[in-house]
């Protein structure tokens, strides 16, 4: 299902704060699929809720073309900077 792909392939939201930081490997990813999306575009919103000690927690929401929430995601990832 493409929702699972969309939940993990958006650029990490921490890039908006730190710029391209190098590598952000996923430690854990949970996706709750709420309903089958309507045909058309998927809108995504991802926010880093916690960034400390080289790790981040990011929450994501995905809506379909009718505005229905179709999936929620939560990701724990490491933040690896160059150098």
Q: What is the pLDDT of residues 35-62, one digit of tens each?
A: 999 999 999 999 988 989 989 999 999 9
**pTM, 2 dp:** 0.83
Q: What is the pLDDT of residues 7-24, one digit of tens each?
A: 887 777 777 666 666 778
Q: How far apart are CA 68 and CA 29, in angstroms?
A: 22
């Amino acid at each position: 299902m493409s929702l699972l792909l969309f939940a993990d392939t958006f650029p990490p939201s921490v890039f908006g704060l730190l710029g391209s930081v190098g590598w952000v490997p996923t430690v854990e990813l949970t996706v709750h699929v709420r309903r089958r999306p309507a045909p058309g575009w998927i809108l995504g919103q991802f926010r880093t809720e916690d960034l400390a000690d080289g790790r981040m927690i990011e929450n994501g929401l995905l809506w379909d073309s009718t505005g229905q929430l179709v999936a929620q995601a939560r990701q724990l990832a490491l933040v690896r900077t160059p150098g």
